[in-house]
Structures are given as C-alpha cells and as structure tokens.
Structure 1
Amino acid sequence: METRELRYFVAVAEELHFGRAAQRLGIAQPPLSRAIHRLERRLGATLLERTSRSVALTEAGRVLLREARAALHAVDAAERRTRRAAASPGGIVLATKAGANGELLAKLLDAYAAEPDAVPVEVLLSGIGEQERVLRDGRADVALLHRPFDDTAGFDIEDLGTEGQVVLLPAGHPLAARPHVRMAEVADLPGLPVPRWPNLDGTYPDGPGPEVRDHTQLTQLIALGRASAVAPESCRSHLHTDVATVPVLDAPPVTTVIAWPPHSRSKAVADLVRTAVRV
C-alpha cells in the first residue's frame, strides 16, 4: 500500500462522505472512488458499505483506519524528526503539559544536564492533551504523559509517580474548609461549572462551563468564583492563595509517565529516561 492510498482512505473513513473527503484532499470525487475500489481489490476486503445515502465502515475498514492512522503518524514523524535532526543535530525535544510537573521537570532537567553526555533539551509546553499528539507526529522525542487522561498505547513508558486529585475552589467556598470531599459532592457545584477544554480541532464541546485554553485562565476563573475543577494534587505548588484545594477521596489516581517511541534508538532519549526514573 502507498501512503497516498492510506491518506485517501483515512479521509473517507473519517468523513464518511466521498464528496467531503474529496474536498478535504483537494481532488475530484471520481479518482478518489476509484482509488478506494483499487485498495479494496488489492486487500480482498470490503472496507466501506456504500448506499445512495450513506457510507459506513465495515469491521475490516475499522481495522484499516486504526492501522492507517498509526502508519501515517509514523511516516509524518519520521519526516519531522529527520528535518529536526538536520537542523539541530544532537538535541532532543521533551513535550510536557504547560502548568504540570513543574517540580519534577526542574529536577529532571537539572539532573540530566549534570550527566557527562547530556545534549541540549528543548522543552515544548503543550496544551491539554497535546503532548501525546506531538510525540506521535514527531515534533517531540520524549514526553511526560498522565494516565488515565493521556493515551499511552504504542509508546514505551516508565512510570514516574502516582498522586491523588484535589478539587480547586474559590478561597472561602464552604467546601474549602472540609478535610476531604467525594466526586459526587463536586460533580455539579451550584454556580461553579466545570470548564470546557478545546477539542483537537480547536472547537469546544457543548456545555454550561466557561471555555478555557490554559491553566492561567482556569485558575483565574476559579478565583473569581466562575468555575471549579478536579486536578492532580501537585498543582498546589503553583496556586495563589485565592484558590483553595481539597482532596477528593474517590477521584482516580493520576500516574505521570515518561514516554517515547518504541523504535527510538537515541542514546540521549535513553539517558533522559534513566535520569527521570532516578529522580
């Protein structure tokens, strides 16, 4: 299979409409339809169920969509990493969520810089959920991810630590004086809706909560009494006194991991991982 065929198929599988897929790809619809037919004949499998009104994925199509996305990510990542290596030989890029892992990140970078074979490390601060994507597409060589929020499938990982979660409230809120709370108590606080983070395409899901893009916006809205949120307890280290935190007993624990592509042969990445585990 050619990468062009895989890109054609992914466009149709995601749009479930040949016209929209052709427009997205910048080609006419007839050659797109012919390309999908050729791909099905070569594979000996029906990938799409077509009617006059709809297009749906078959089970074989769902498998190819998953595998094609992974393959295209790998191709794009190979190109990006090659270009980065040519532009900045020897250095590595570490992706992490902005506002998270501040203490761990500082310790890691200091400890790694003291290693005799250390190379320059560029820190790529990402938005919510973005560090996984930039690692997959080759913009980063290694990343700090957080289970259960980030998908670590397909990466090699090492666990670095697990922590509980706290609810972030305006200082002075009645619950702020409690030693702990439960998820049911903070799931729908009157006047303090859960904020809405952007989807991958930049749009926001529907809901009553305010739209936020980063932790600075989030904490300011909480301090103003316009929102609340549940977050890993390590966030306490960079909060101001106008935001209170209370442990949430039954919130799922959050595990920070360091992740890298399984095919990586970079000594610098391996050294950074070993340093992360040590510190």
Structure 2
Amino acid sequence: MDDVETRELRYFLAVAEERHFGRAALRLGMAQPPLSRAIRQLEARIGVQLFDRDRRGVRLTPAGEVLLRDAPAALDSVRAAVRRARRAGAPERRLVLATKAGSSHAFLQSLLDTHQAAVDAGVPDAVPIDVELCEIGEQAGLLLDGTADVAVMHRPFDDFTGIESVDLHSEPQVAIVPSSHPLAARRSLTMAEVSSVPDLPIARWPLADWSYPPGPGPEVHSQSQLAQLVALGRTLLVIPRSSRAWQWPEHSAVPVLDAPIATTVLGWPEGRRTPEVDQLVATALRIEDDSEAATA
C-alpha cells in the first residue's frame, strides 16, 4: 500500500463531514471532479471503499467511519510535528510556556526571573522563554498541537490526557465573590454554602471536552468575562488561593475550607521532555524547595 498523503486525508474529512462531494469541493475551494478523483485514489491506496455513493449524496462505509474517527488525530499530529520542527530549526532555540492568564502569578514571575538569570549566566540547556497566555483549560491543547513546549497547569481542573507532569506545590482554594455581597464579610465558607447561594450561582467552567456541567450559573469562556460577571454580582467562583492576582477592586476572596486542594504542576507532551524542558523543571523545583525552606 502506498503512503497516504495528508492532502488526501483533508479531502476525505471534508466529504465525510459534508456528506456531499459538491459541498465538500466548495468548502475546499476546488472543483468537484479533482476531489472525486482524489477520493478514489485514496480508496485505492488503502484498498477499501470509504463511501457509498448515490444520487442523493454519500454515506460512510464501516471503513470510512473508522477513518473519520482516526484521521483528525493523525492530521493534528502532523501539524504539531511541523510546529515543533520549525521552532527547533529557528536560529535561536526558545521554549514556549503556556499558562492561563492570571494564574499562579507570583510563582510564574519567580520562575521566569530565575530561569532568565540561568540563561544570562550561560547555563547549559537554559534557553529564553516565550509566554503564551491562554484561557480556561487551553493548556493541554496548546501542548498537544505543538504550539507550546511546557505549561503551568492545575490538578484537579485541567485535562492531563497525553500529558506528563511534575507536581510543584499544593494550596487551598478561595471563593471570589462581589465585594458588595454579604458573603464577602464571612471569614470562611464551605462548598455547600458557595454552591447554594440563590442570587449568586457558581460559574460553570468548561470540561475536558469543552462541554459544560449542568447548573444555573453562567458558562464562562474567558478570565475577563468571568471577572466582570463577578463584579456585576452575577456569579461567584472557587479558585486556587494564588490566583487572586487577577482580582478586581470589586472582588473579595473568602477561604473555602473543604474545597479540593489545588496542585500547580508543570506539564509537557508525553515523550517530549527535552533537555530544555528538564532545565526549566529543575528551576521550578528549586524555587519550590527554596520557598518551603523559607517558610519552615
């Protein structure tokens, strides 16, 4: 069997998703006859029929269903490999570190400053860092698609499928509430209390598959949206204590005594712990060791 080309997989996905050669050709910006020929060539390469064709359109065969399930991941892997290769071949080697905006600010500042000092001192495998700020839950995707090399992530909130990681530190969580709300005057809260405030439903964060859990609270898509909804008295949220860096003056933070412990970690794609990532991990662990010694 000849090797399948990525172009053929893209053509296949367009037809499989549109269920129509004409619409797929329009989506791809090409004429229908070359698209039909490309699909026949793909079927010949694989040695199976991928579509049942009739005058009303096309239907996937069982073989086509399997390819539809697996092809997107294959194309994503190729794109990720290309992105990583481009960075590796750049005149100056750099690491891209992804982190949720406003998250673990004090730790991140210390990490960047300490690591840059190692770069300036010429420490082997210490390379400059570019920071890729992202929204809620996007770190894993940026790692897996090759956009980032390493990411600051948090258990138990982020998706770690396909990600290796090292734990750095754990901390309690706080509720961020409007400063004008009666909850702001409390010394502490419980999860039962923050989950049952009639006029202040807890914000709903996206799950790993980007769906949202049921509930009356608003679906949040970005940190800025979330901050404004809290300030307007429309929602509250529970976050790691160190994430208070992005608080607005209209916010108050109240400890939540029984909230799950949040653990900050450094993550990278499975099997891709390079010497440069190793150096950054060593720096992060040294910062944590120094911090623990200072508070002991």
TM-score by length of 2: 0.72
Which entry has the higher C-alpha Rg, 1 or 2? 2
1:160-199 map, 5 Å: 160-176=168-184, 177=186, 179-183=188-192, 185-186=194-195, 189-190=198-199, 194=203
The CA deviation at 1:82 is: 3.0
Whether the 8 Å CA contact 2:178–2:250 is kept in 1: the answer is yes
1:49-88 map, 5 Å: 52=56, 55=59, 58=62, 64-65=67-68, 67-88=70-91
Residues 1:268 and 2:276 aligned together: yes
Question: Structure 1 residues 105, 66: CA separation in 2 closer, same or farther (over 3 Å shift)?
Answer: farther
Whether the 8 Å CA contact 1:181–1:248 is kept in 2: the answer is yes
Q: What is the aligned partner in structure 2 of residue 107 from structure 1?
A: 110
Aligned length: 275
- Secondary structure of the structure 1 residue equivalent to 2:148: coil
Instruction: Please give the alpha-carbon distance, in whole angstroms, between the structure 1 residues aligned to 2:267 and 2:152.
Output: 6
Deviation per CA, 1:167-206, whole angstroms, max 9, x where unpaired? 3211242333162222574266425573788xx99xx9xx
1:9-28 map, 5 Å: 9-14=12-17, 19-28=22-31
Deviation per CA, 1:28-62, whole angstroms, max 9, x where unpaired? 4555455456545654667668885885685x656
Unaligned 5+ runs, structure 2: 289-296
Which amino acid letter does the alignment assign opposite residue 247 of structure 2?
A: L
The CA deviation at 1:96 is: 0.9
Whether the 8 Å CA contact 2:97–2:149 is kept in 1: the answer is yes
Question: Structure 1 residues 144, 23: CA separation in 2 closer, same or farther (over 3 Å shift)?
Answer: farther
Q: What is the aligned partner in structure 1 of residue 92 from structure 2?
A: 89
Instruction: Please give the alpha-carbon distance, in whole angstroms, between the structure 2 residues aligned to 1:155 and 1:43.
Output: 31
Q: What is the aligned partner in structure 2 of residue 159 from structure 1?
A: 167
- Secondary structure of the structure 2 residue equivalent to 1:268: helix
1:130-145 map, 5 Å: 130-145=138-153
Which amino acid letter does the alignment assign opposite residue 5 of structure 2?
A: E
- Secondary structure of the structure 1 residue equivalent to 2:160: coil
Deviation per CA, 1:134-179, whole angstroms, max 9, x where unpaired? 2222222222223444332223322223444433211242333162
Whether the 8 Å CA contact 1:195–1:228 is kept in 2: the answer is no
The CA deviation at 1:230 is: 2.8
The CA deviation at 1:121 is: 0.9
Q: Which moved more, 1:146-155 or 1:183-192?
A: 183-192
Unaligned 5+ runs, structure 1: none
Q: What is the aligned partner in structure 2 of residue 220 from structure 1?
A: 228
Which amino acid letter does the alignment assign opposite residue 191 of structure 2?
A: R
TM-score by length of 1: 0.75
- Report the aligned-residue RMSD: 4.0
